[in-house]
Amino acid sequence: MLLKLSKSELLALEAVCQADFTASQLSESLRVKKSFVSRIAKSLAEKGLVQVEKQGNNKLIKLSMASHAQNFKKLFESRPNAKIDNWLSGNAIDVLILASFAEGIMLKALFEEANCSKPSVYKTLKQLYSAGVAAKYGSKIVVTDSLVRAFANSYADNIQLIMQKQVKGINASIRVRKHVVLRTDSKTTPQIFSQTGISALAKRGLEAVLTSYKDYYFNLNEEKKEISVEEAFVHALLLSTIRQHQDQVLLEMFFAKNINKLSLRLLRKLALDYAVEGKMDEVRRVADSLNKIKAME
């Protein structure tokens, strides 16, 4: 799991924040077998947190220069005796990514989006509250430590890049919590990517000339998802906020034509989830005007 760090991984990461280690040296420092260190190093390297280089018959393990690794180092140095491994292991990264985006997350939404059970969410929140890095204000969970927030956001950004690296071509993407919408001209994408946005709407009556670009959705949980027409529409709306992809006119036409086939309640919820409520209101106003003009003809 890319969104989980074990205690052993965190202890190894803390060690390489202070110095480079060979696998033998790190196994001695952590008092574990060298084969176990090799597995930990491989997992941390897959998450972009460390670099593993061959050094003769041994391997040199060093902290990555990636932003999430460097932000972890800042966090570790700011809390040298805080036993980070106790409260950042398990489901903590998942919860922190959700709560670090924008101004926090409502508890109900956290339960819906966390990749663990409700009791596990409560247990993780208790750990984070005790560590003094998160707090509950009303029904909203907020990360209160700026270094933890920076680490969580950069961690999500780097996992997104790792998952996107197989997509070769001209790419534009946008992330909302653990959801990523990607526009690309690549001919191949990973199997866990789902077609969405204008690409998916075109199959449902969008009157537009499509380009070589296609839109895809993926999430940092590495889970394939079936995309409803409403979610595909909101993904397209989200992509329209990127300056070089102004598709709002096409979306207004689609909305006007298909308004009776769409669940407006679901659209409102998804627009809120993806923080495009304003865009959604604009599209609906224009679509209403288009339909009034058509009715007068």
**For the chain, domain boundaries:** 7-63, 71-154, 169-296
Map residue 194 onto helix, strand or coil. Answer: strand
Can you read off the two tokens belonging to residue 248? 């709002």
Give the C-alpha distances (Å, rounded to integers) separating 180 from 36, 133, 216, 237.
33, 26, 8, 13
Map residue 121 onto helix, strand or coil. Answer: helix
CA atoms of 71 and 77, how far apart (whole Å): 10
Instruction: Write down the mean pLDDT value for the chain.
Output: 91
Q: Within 13 Å, how many C-alpha atoms sit on residue 221's CB side?
A: 16
On the question of pLDDT at 155 being above 80, the answer is yes
153-183 b/e (C-beta count within 10 Å ≥ 16 → b): bbbbebbbeebbeebeeeeebbbbbbbbbbb
Interval 254-286: pLDDT, tens: 888 888 888 999 999 999 999 999 999 998 888
Residue 232, pLDDT score:
94
Map residue 290 onto helix, strand or coil. Answer: helix
> Cβ distance 181 to 168 under 8 Å?
no
- The residue whose two tokens read 């061959």 is 54
CATH architecture for segment(s) 71-154: Orthogonal Bundle (1.10)
Average pLDDT over residues 146-174: 94
- Minimal CA–CA distance to 177: which of 88, 100, 91, 232? 100
Q: Of 251 and 221, which is predicted with more confidence? A: 221
Q: Of 130 and 81, which is predicted with more confidence? A: 130
Map residue 219 onto helix, strand or coil. Answer: strand
On the question of pLDDT at 83 being above 80, the answer is yes
7-63 classified as CATH 3.40.5.90: no
Residue 209, pLDDT score:
53
CA atoms of 174 and 21, how far apart (whole Å): 36
Mean pLDDT lowest among 38-42, 81-85, 172-176: 81-85
CA atoms of 296 and 285, how far apart (whole Å): 17
pTM comes to 0.92
- Minimal CA–CA distance to 13: which of 32, 38, 39, 41? 41
What is the pLDDT confidence band of residue 205, given thresholds at 50, 70 and 90? low
Q: Of 102 and 67, which is predicted with more confidence? A: 67
- What's the N-to-C CA distance of the chain in angstroms? 57
Interval 19-49: pLDDT, tens: 999 999 999 999 999 889 999 999 999 999 9
Average pLDDT over residues 224-244: 90
Q: Of 150 and 294, which is predicted with more confidence? A: 150
Could you check whether 7-63 and 71-154 share the same CATH topology?
yes
What is the pLDDT confidence band of residue 229, given thresholds at 50, 70 and 90? very high
On the question of pLDDT at 208 being above 60, the answer is no
Interval 94-148: pLDDT, tens: 999 999 998 899 999 999 999 999 999 999 999 999 999 999 999 999 999 999 9
